[in-house]
Amino acid sequence: METLNEYWIEACVDSVESAVSAEKNGANRLELCSHLEVDGLSPSIDLVKEVLDAVTIPVKVMIRPRQGNFLYTQKELLKMTGTIYAMKDIGVYGIVFGILNKYNLVDSVNTASLAEVAKPLNVTFHKAIDYTSDLIKNVEVLNDITSVDAILTSGGKATAMHGKPIINELYDTYGTSGRRLEIIAAGRITHEKLDLHKEELKTTSLHGRHIVES
């Protein structure tokens, strides 16, 4: 398998057991969530601590207080802020969140606010970007928020392969050597098809629930 410097193989996990298994089978970064059946919610702080104790690779944590859309109330945003502070205190590598407004555009004000709270943690804007009305323009908005480090996307399509043209365009524009944003491809990237995705996608950051064998 490629070394850490060549590829980020980011496994999405929801338990200590799945985290340990993912690292054992070749993942070199984790995204930890709860309730993967609804595309992931914030995990409990106890679970995060257990996973941090059990693995040696970087762990990102999902910050998502409920299922459904990505338009949050002020009360929900305060809850997300509190969760971010808690994650900073226990030493995670990064956080993952996405906030949209009522027009299905990136909520730049609240995104910038939460990303600043998170620093110096790594900050990923997740696949909420794929629900925006104009993905390219909304990535431009995120690029202007310097505290956002990465974007998780399937190129606005159901799978990374279907979104390949957009993912590769984003990588060329924002993710190449010397550029600022890490473009993380997601969407049905499994260990059986990992080599194909490496061949077809320009980005060297790949994400999936089944990206390594369980």
Whether 104 maps to a domain, the answer reads: yes
Whether 51 maps to a domain, the answer reads: yes
The residue range of the domain holding 122 is 8-208
147-191 pLDDT, tens digit per residue, is: 999 999 999 999 999 999 999 999 999 988 678 899 999 999 999
Whether 172 maps to a domain, the answer reads: yes
Residue 146: both structure tokens together: 């310097």
Residue 93: both structure tokens together: 């590598």
Give the count of beta carbons closer than 10 Å to the beta carbon of residue 85. Answer: 11
Q: Going by C-beta distance under 8 Å and a sequence separation of 6 or more, which residues neighbour residue 86?
A: 45
Whether 214 maps to a domain, the answer reads: no
Between CA 118 and CA 73 the distance in angstroms is: 19
43-81 pLDDT, tens digit per residue, is: 999 999 999 999 999 999 999 999 999 999 999 999 999
SS3 content of the chain, % helix, strand, coil (to 5): 40, 20, 40
Question: Of 1 and 4, which is predicted with more confidence?
Answer: 4
- Does residue 5 surpass a pLDDT of 70? no
User: Domain containing 195 — which CATH number?
Assistant: 3.20.20.380
Whether 1 maps to a domain, the answer reads: no
Please tell me the predicted confidence (pLDDT) of residue 179.
82
Whether 57 maps to a domain, the answer reads: yes
* Count of domains for the chain: 1
Whether 3 maps to a domain, the answer reads: no
- HSE-CB of 90 using CA atoms within 13 angstroms: 21
Q: Going by C-beta distance under 8 Å and a sequence separation of 6 or more, which residues neighbour residue 68?
A: none
103-138 pLDDT, tens digit per residue, is: 999 999 999 999 999 999 999 999 999 999 999 999
Whether 133 maps to a domain, the answer reads: yes
